Structure 1
Amino acid sequence: MNKAPVLLYLHGVGQGDLAQEWRFQLSQTLADIGYPSLDDVEIIAPKYADAFEEFEVAAELPPLTIAALTKDVARHNRIEFERRISAMEFRLGRHDSGVGGKMPTTVVSLSVELPLFYQARNYLSSEQVRAQVLNRILAQLPEEGELVILGHSLGSVIAADVVRRLPAGLKVAGLVTIGSPLANGSFNVDRLENELHQPPSNMRWWVNFWSGTDPVAAKRGVSGVIPWVLDYRIKTPLIPGTAHSSKHYCADPAVGEAIGFGLFGSRSKEIVVSEKNLSLPLNEAELFVVQALRFAYLISLRLQGEKQQRFNLALRETQARFYQEIMAHNEAENRPIPAEIRHLEFDFADADAIAPTPLPSPYLYKYEAARRFVDLAGLNLLHPFEIEVDDNARLEAMKDLSEESQLGSQFGADVMNSLRKAEDLISSGRKARWLKWGALGFGTAALAAASGGLALAVAPGVAGAAAISSALAGFGPGGLAGGLLTAGTLISAGSGGIAVGVLKSSTTAEEVEALVAQKLAVVILSQTQQLEIDDETWNYFVESERNLRRELTRLENISDEKSPMVAGVKRKLKAVEKALSFMSHQGLEPGIFKELEAANNKPKLKFLSR
């Protein structure tokens, strides 16, 4: 049986809360919210106030014990860490890094020079003092097991410092910092910001709590300098000294929830259930439907009055239609129905029947979610209905979708920002409508996200656009494919992912612009999230440009000078050219330049593609 985690409390300046008010308050908070108290928890609370003075006997800094990770291992570690920190965000609430400000930051910087804070000044400036403090703490820790660390004020800086020096067999089940000044440059001891550019491999998660009335926190969290930390704002009293006290931080239920989860595990099964592998996994088409309906539901929560009523009516009909189509398709294929799809069922013929709320979206790795969420954000969820949604409502809904998918709300914000940037690049200031209602129908977006997922009944040997047409045939006219512009018009399931229908008259210039912008948004999002970018999008644009140029030359030689068809092809071509230009300036061209660079082994350009 695994031993329960030990609680390590690291105090700030002063004598270290000799009355242990933090402990009694935290124990009470845990009991109030349904966790066990601290009565049976092993607590280590080192006192090191005297160690802030330089001793006569020289002390050496304890060695770093975290080995450097290879690129692949580091990437895996970061992905898994983000999954855990996103689950904590889902548990606690929305990440809030604060706004900071010149005045609060200046106050924190100047306070370090005051006599009252000489201990902090000594720790930050003297390696001897740092060594004394760290050695004092490490001497009291076990060699193996798990720790939950609570660091207050300067103790949060010490916590970040000591984590990298723990015994190899000792892991950090969770780090909670309260009232931390780490975001201030004066506290960047031993270049902690640079050393912690990636989560330490021995740490499961780090949550930082800050209060707007706490002068030491300076109206901000620490994610501004350590971006992978989850910041969470709470309220402490208005009086500065009291607002900064560990006792009042520990009185907050959110702080208790984080520490309680680290020590005792989950009080509920909400997150556990969302991570369980169901016996019958969703295929790509079913997953897309579940996520799209959930996204629409999250949007509906942010609407009001008559618009919300119309939106919910359209969503109700959409949910009923897609449930029936998936049921019919799976029955024809003799495929069982996953629980998430069964959950959507209701009697649409009964006007009083309430449509079940779509379940939260399952977890996706970020490189999978990048394409999926961009597609979701850019489609018309309720096709053929068109209901304009406020930008902020769509943004907040996407942040919620990302948060409950354990990707973090910032991922959702980056999705929308990437779409806006791509839209601006492609439209060149011209007001586009595709994010207003969604230029692409549901079926088109589903194919763009996972054409292979819909190809459930493709005949042997069928590929590319023919595979799409074959798969969609199972849904019948006006079914899931009802939102398609033309089957196979905009995308192909072939290995190159090349557009096969940008030349068709049934494909409007606006629809092509929307798809180009969506594909470009995935590139922008991948850069923001530091994800790998393969060559597929570049190849797609190059092939589309080649086809469009050939078609434009053919049309211009024969058609009237002001032909709408010619103007449409020019507009399509311009959209593709802008996308290629952006990727070129970002150093994303594959091919000969990259090969020459590798051959010379002298990097001259920065490439993010593989």
Structure 2
Amino acid sequence: GEAAVGLAPTLVPPPRVAEAAAQLHGVPGRPDAFGTARQLVFLHGRSQQGHDPEALRREWTAALNGGLVRVGYRPIDPADVFFPYYGDRLAALLHTHEAVATTFDAVAADPAAAAAPATPSARALYDQLLAQAAERAGMPDDGTSAQVDERIGLGGVVRVARRPLDWLAHHSGIDRLVIAGVFRDVATYLDDRRIRDDVLACVRETVPASGDIVLVGHSLGTVIAMDLLAGAAAEPGVTGLVTLGAPLGMDTVYDRLLTRGPHCPARVPWWFNGWAPCDGVAIGCPLRGHWSGLTVESSVDNPRDRAHDIDAYLGQPEVAAAIASRLELPRG
């Protein structure tokens, strides 16, 4: 029914963020697990705040083991994997970064609009990401692609490009709020250098200090992985990079990376990119033709209702075989 006259709208409470002292941290793996200097590092995507990093490591490893067994390799022990964790840190940074509150009514009317960044520069980048992603996904240019929705929030007008988001959701099968959330966090990470530096510092706490790593990144984690490897540090060495569900195919993203364009860092000798055609976040894939330094690229057949899920990606034979080859895993 209609809201009672004179009553203020009920504000959606901000997400609960752990105090800095209580924030969870990454979990290291065994440095000599694979009998060589090679070490496996998983780098998660967004919306992992409050999740137990140890449980996440077990889930990722279980998914990869499913793929490894399918292609004839022995499964690995979760304790052998390094799992940097920045979920709580990013949530805390976003909590202080956002200034616009919204209402339950606004969320119900358009949950994706509620995901828009609050600051003008991040919001503009968010709109650019959605528009370019929809264009790359085949949205026709009929003169209406720039349509926006304007809603009044506590901090002013919330301006969100709705039509591109609706197009992406319809053609990928992924919920609008998931797509909007990924691009919101990517935009905020790329727009705010303080957030970027804090997230990278958090990740470095758990990355091995020496040896040769095989770095597997998913979603926002692929963006962070590129920045991480673009640093000047000589250690650890890198024997392979695996990116899954990556939003790296848009110049709106790669022009703002520390690589300063679509150039895989020179310290990476081998790079595999896996993407699902129905993944509404992996827009711009295949990356070949845009990026230099790409070694192998493969489309994978993720289920439509789990197109962007990391467990769907890691269980694919092509992905598991790529990781196994760089780790030099024994056959089962």
Asked if TM exceeds 0.5, the reply is yes
Hey, what does 1:184 align to over in structure 2? 250
1:261 aligns with 2:299: no
Distance 1:266 1:190, change over 3 A: farther
Hey, what does 1:223 align to over in structure 2? 288
Hey, what does 1:144 align to over in structure 2? 210
Amino acid at match of 2:62: F
Map Cα deviations across residues 542-567 of structure 1 (whole Å, 9 max, x no partner).
Answer: xxxxxxxxxxxxxxxxxxxxxxxxxx
Hey, what does 1:15 align to over in structure 2? 48
Hey, what does 1:35 align to over in structure 2? 73
TM-score by length of 1: 0.33
- Report the Cα offset of residue 133 of structure 1: 0.8
Amino acid at match of 1:103: M
Q: Which protein has the bigger strand share?
A: 2
- Out of 37, 50, 54, the position equivalent to 2:93 is 54
- Report the Cα offset of residue 111 of structure 1: 7.5
Distance 1:101 1:55 in 2: 28
Distance 1:8 1:123, change over 3 A: same
- Report the Cα offset of residue 42 of structure 1: 2.4
Map Cα deviations across residues 558-595 of structure 1 (whole Å, 9 max, x no partner).
Answer: xxxxxxxxxxxxxxxxxxxxxxxxxxxxxxxxxxxxxx
Structure of greater relative contact order (alpha carbons < 8 Å, 6+ residues apart): 2
Amino acid at match of 1:24: A
Distance 1:237 1:55 in 2: 31
Given that 1:35 and 1:260 are in contact with CA atoms closer than 8 Å, whether structure 2 keeps it comes out as yes
3-state DSSP class of the match of 2:256? helix
- Report the Cα offset of residue 6 of structure 1: 1.4
- Out of 241, 245, 249, the position equivalent to 2:309 is 245
Hey, what does 2:139 align to over in structure 1? 103
Hey, what does 1:210 align to over in structure 2? 275
Hey, what does 1:71 align to over in structure 2? none
The 5-angstrom pairing of residues 397-476 of structure 1 reads: none
Map Cα deviations across residues 326-351 of structure 1 (whole Å, 9 max, x no partner).
Answer: xxxxxxxxxxxxxxxxxxxxxxxxxx
- Report the Cα offset of residue 154 of structure 1: 0.8
Map Cα deviations across residues 93-140 of structure 1 (whole Å, 9 max, x no partner).
Answer: xxxxxx953339954699899457543332121111110110011122
- Report the Cα offset of residue 238 of structure 1: 1.5
Hey, what does 1:520 align to over in structure 2? none
Amino acid at match of 1:8: V
- Report the Cα offset of residue 3 of structure 1: 3.2
- Report the Cα offset of residue 5 of structure 1: 1.5
Distance 1:118 1:196, change over 3 A: closer
- Report the Cα offset of residue 29 of structure 1: 1.7
Q: Percent of aligned pairs with the same residue?
A: 30
- Report the Cα offset of residue 227 of structure 1: 3.4
- Report the Cα offset of residue 252 of structure 1: 0.5
Distance 2:248 2:211 in 1: 27
3-state DSSP class of the match of 1:54? helix
Amino acid at match of 1:13: R
- Report the Cα offset of residue 13 of structure 1: 1.0
Hey, what does 2:189 align to over in structure 1? 123
- Report the Cα offset of residue 189 of structure 1: 5.7
Amino acid at match of 1:256: A
TM-score by length of 2: 0.58
Hey, what does 2:266 align to over in structure 1? 201
Given that 1:183 and 1:224 are in contact with CA atoms closer than 8 Å, whether structure 2 keeps it comes out as no
Hey, what does 2:121 align to over in structure 1? none
**Unpaired segments ≥5 residues, structure 2:** 1-31, 97-134, 146-163, 170-175
Amino acid at match of 1:10: L
Map Cα deviations across residues 438-476 of structure 1 (whole Å, 9 max, x no partner).
Answer: xxxxxxxxxxxxxxxxxxxxxxxxxxxxxxxxxxxxxxx
**Unpaired segments ≥5 residues, structure 1:** 58-98, 269-610
Hey, what does 1:234 align to over in structure 2? 300
Distance 2:262 2:286 in 1: 16
- Report the Cα offset of residue 255 of structure 1: 0.4
Amino acid at match of 2:217: G
Given that 2:247 and 2:253 are in contact with CA atoms closer than 8 Å, whether structure 1 keeps it comes out as yes
Q: Which protein has the bigger helix share?
A: 1
When Rg is computed on C-alpha atoms for both structures, the one with the higher figure is 1
3-state DSSP class of the match of 2:200? helix
Distance 1:180 1:164 in 2: 17
- Report the Cα offset of residue 40 of structure 1: 7.2
Count of matched residue pairs: 224
Distance 1:164 1:151 in 2: 15
- Report the Cα offset of residue 191 of structure 1: 4.3
Distance 1:51 1:40, change over 3 A: closer
